Structure 1
Amino acid sequence: MFDYLLSIKFEYPYLLLLILLFVFCSIFCKAKIPTYIIPHLNIFSQSKHKSIILTSILKYLVIIGSIIALASPYKQLNTQLIKNDGIDIVLSLDTSGSMKEKGLNRNNESEERFDVVKSIVKDFIPKRINDNIAIVVFGTSVMMATPLSFDKEAQKEIVDYLEVGIVGDKTAMLDSLASSVNILKDSKAKSKIVILLSDGEDNASNIPLEIILKLLKKYSIKVYTVGIGNSNKIMLNKISNETNGKSYTAYSKDDLNEIYKRIDLLEKSKIENNKITLKEYLFFYPLFLAIISLIIYIYLKNKE
């Protein structure tokens, strides 16, 4: 019972201050009534005293019950999200052989590039609370590591299992974009984006760049490209420019971390404005108490 009372909230809590105002006025703002001394009326004093106490209690119940009802007490049941106004994101990650190179993390020169990428991606995923995320990895071929999902914890665990060379040592970057299009083409989200990370030239794709760009434009998919080092800048810039995205280059772990932070700020989901909060309104109970108290109060006053 106590836990239930603690869970009750008010839509207009400031109205409850009127209760303090009422108590203050009842103590310090009493009307001055002339006093008449009539002897031999002691016989009525006890019954009169009880009547005054009862009517005072009823008066307080009427006022306090009415104010609580006006403050609109409610119990929040749960929140539902309208997911169609969120963002669907595909993280396309290069797992080719070159991602084994070291030196990207200047604080730990022995850490491989892909391990740096994994740590940053695992930090990025939980920030997208309201968005669907899928993960695609590419090397000689392309593999969907996770489909579009809201399960961020499962995705972080899957990222831990990804390794360099998991789908070959070459770089099928354009084919990875084709797989990303395949994931996003039926999406009903208001915004669809791909964050493509690569550190090398495309040397294994079967689909031409022109076809990929047409597909991305057809399904209104925006691509943010992240290049590690100076490799393949021309193609990455072209892809991002043609799809209204942005192109970034990272030379260190700090650069890479800052890039993902910028993308996170640029692509903010509006789903927060489309939450449906289910509430159980409780104003009826204090209002009912106030009405019953008022009826009894009027009845007693008319009897006096």
Structure 2
Amino acid sequence: MLNSFHFTYPFFLLLLPLFALSTLLFNQEKESFYIPHFLQLLSHVKKKHYAREILKWAMITCMTVALSDPVAVKKIKAVKSNAVDIVLALDTSGSMSTYGFNEKNYKQSRLDVVKEVVKSFIDMRKSDRIGLVIFGTTAAIASPLSFDKEAQKNIVGKIEVGVIGKSTALIDALVSSAALLKNAKSKSKIIILLSDGEDSASKIPLAFALKLAKKYSIKIYTITIDKSYSNMMKVIASKNGAQNFEVQNKKDLLKVYKRIDRLQKSELEYNTLDVEEHIYFYFLLFSLLCAILLVEHVKTRGVL
């Protein structure tokens, strides 16, 4: 939408009154002859005269405007996003194959339900970078931090139970997640750690993982599927000023991810940018068109 209009070299517009003045002052007087019945031809002569004058002045005017370099200014609203960097750490151990987590479809495993809910969460975070870490007997980075939501959902869809072992290296997954976030420049860095059991395979102590998260200002939300025999998930969340959630079914899991989505909203700032477009070309083109028509008019009428 056009918001303003100005000329880069407005002084060239002074040529227009000079052209008009010179036409009035230097118009040559022509000899007059008396011709009987001339009035019958007058309307035809006037039409020829008007067409020539209109084309001539349209050409001069557009050429002068083009020399003045007209500029159209448009205001565009730009969005500056203070995005959140999020790592989703997902348990793929053997216990995630358990059925019955979805009350409406008992044939779905825990991991299948988690994959559905995680995909919907990824769609919610349109302005954020998301990374994926999966863990079983070991931990692995499934996706670096990225804005490519479709690629991440595709990766989530291909995750299978036991893909990297059937044990639970929960703390190792925290360290891998922190490694993804440590160099991030965003103001908010969070890990959402989901598991259905105790740590049984990590090689790194919990104290080191918590120290790493604190050093890089990473907040860790934990989601426990069913009640674990360990308080580790609660300890991890409480040490980072976040929260542990316990879920019993798919409905609970959906509520938890929606709640985390509300707690960790991206901040959007709106700036207005002025975009200038130099439009002299259109006036120059129209001036050239008028010149061509004027030449054709002179050829057919034989009068300049």
Name 1:199's counterpart in structure 2. 196
Q: State whether structure 2 residue 250 is matched by structure 1 residue 253.
A: yes
**C-alpha spacing 1:207/1:81, structure 2 compared with 1 (3 Å):** farther
Q: State whether structure 2 residue 158 is matched by structure 1 residue 158.
A: no
Deviations 1:104-154 (A, max 9, x none): 100001110000000011111121111111100000001111111111101
Larger radius of gyration: 2
The 3-state SS of whatever aligns with 1:91 is strand
| TM-score, reference length from structure 1 | 0.67
Q: State whether structure 2 residue 232 is matched by structure 1 residue 235.
A: yes
CA distance in 2 between counterparts of 1:255 and 1:170 reads 25
**C-alpha spacing 1:11/1:205, structure 2 compared with 1 (3 Å):** farther
Structure 1 residue ranges (4+ consecutive) displaced by more than 6 angstroms after TM superposition: 274-277, 282-285
Amino acid at match of 1:142: A
Q: State whether structure 2 residue 215 is matched by structure 1 residue 215.
A: no
The 3-state SS of whatever aligns with 2:259 is helix
Q: State whether structure 2 residue 125 is matched by structure 1 residue 102.
A: no
Q: Is the Cα contact below 8 Å between 2:80 and 2:270 reproduced in 1? A: no
**C-alpha spacing 1:187/1:214, structure 2 compared with 1 (3 Å):** same
CA distance in 2 between counterparts of 1:218 and 1:87 reads 18
**C-alpha spacing 1:272/1:232, structure 2 compared with 1 (3 Å):** farther
Aligned mate of 2:87, from 85, 90, 111: 90
Name 1:190's counterpart in structure 2. 187
Q: State whether structure 2 residue 171 is matched by structure 1 residue 177.
A: no
| Cα displacement (A) at 1:284 | 9.4
Q: State whether structure 2 residue 127 is matched by structure 1 residue 115.
A: no
| Cα displacement (A) at 1:209 | 1.1
**C-alpha spacing 1:162/1:103, structure 2 compared with 1 (3 Å):** same
Name 1:268's counterpart in structure 2. 265
The 3-state SS of whatever aligns with 2:185 is coil
CA distance in 1 between counterparts of 2:159 and 2:267 reads 31
| Cα displacement (A) at 1:234 | 1.6
Amino acid at match of 1:114: L
User: How many residue pairs get matched?
Assistant: 252
Q: How does 1:21-36 map to 2 (within 5 A)?
A: none
| Cα displacement (A) at 1:211 | 1.1
Deviations 1:168-197 (A, max 9, x none): 000000000000111111111111100000
Amino acid at match of 1:145: A
Residue identity (%) = 48
Aligned mate of 1:125, from 122, 125, 148: 122
CA distance in 2 between counterparts of 1:162 and 1:275 reads 43
Report the structure, 1 or 2, having the larger helix content: 1
Gaps of 5+ in 2: 5-69, 282-304
Name 2:131's counterpart in structure 1. 134
Q: Is the Cα contact below 8 Å between 1:72 and 1:283 reproduced in 2? A: no
Amino acid at match of 1:197: L
